Copies of this chain bind each other. A is one copy, B any other.
Amino acid sequence: MQQEKHFINSIYYQLEQTAKYCKYLGNQLFEKLNFEIPLDEFVVLDTILVHGEICQRDLAKLILKDRPSTGRLLNSLEEKGLIERFADTKNNRLVRKTKLTAKGQCVTEQITNVLKEYFARFPVLSGEKVLDLKTRIQEFKDGLEKEVEMKI
């Protein structure tokens, strides 16, 4: 059997498989540790923390979800008092921007610390190899970004 011929042995499919493990692992962890928000919502908080006050569409582009899903995630976070939304303008256009509340920052930091501690004891790869892998994936992702039309 010529393995290289098959799509399931391509880097594209192998990446998807690996990412699925990451997602499962993350979700299981969030449930096991009884965090008060699911992984997806934490990603939103972390993204806002890194990128600052951004409008919903820009957030959607960053988390690679469509606009309705992004809006719903923000609704949920707003109901929990973890974010605040406020009107602002971007290119002379009215947009809804988002920022973390004090509670939201607290929750995000807390989860971040627990995750950091957890992954530090995680015997997957040595630190050096992980760093190397990360830069190569980044390179690959940058190449893909130019080719894919995301419609967000």
Please list the residues of chain A having a beta carbon within 8 angstroms of any beta carbon in chain B: 1, 3, 5-26, 28, 42-43, 46-47, 49-50, 64, 112, 115-116, 119, 122-125, 129-130, 132-134, 136-141, 143-145, 147-150
Contact = CB atoms under 8 A, between A and B. Distances in A.
Number of copies: 2
A12 B134 CA distance: 9
A124 B112 contact: no
Contacts of A20: 19, 64
A6 B46 contact: yes
A129 B137 CA distance: 11
In the complex, which of the residues A6, A10, A15, A125 has the most CB atoms of chain B within 10 Å of its own CB atom? A15
B140 A50 contact: no
Contact of A18 (B1, B112, B140): B140
A24 B3 CA distance: 24
Contacts of A130: 11, 140
A46 B3 CA distance: 11
A15 B145 contact: no
Given A25-B144, A125-B143, A143-B123, A115 B7 contact: yes
A43 to B, nearest CB: 6
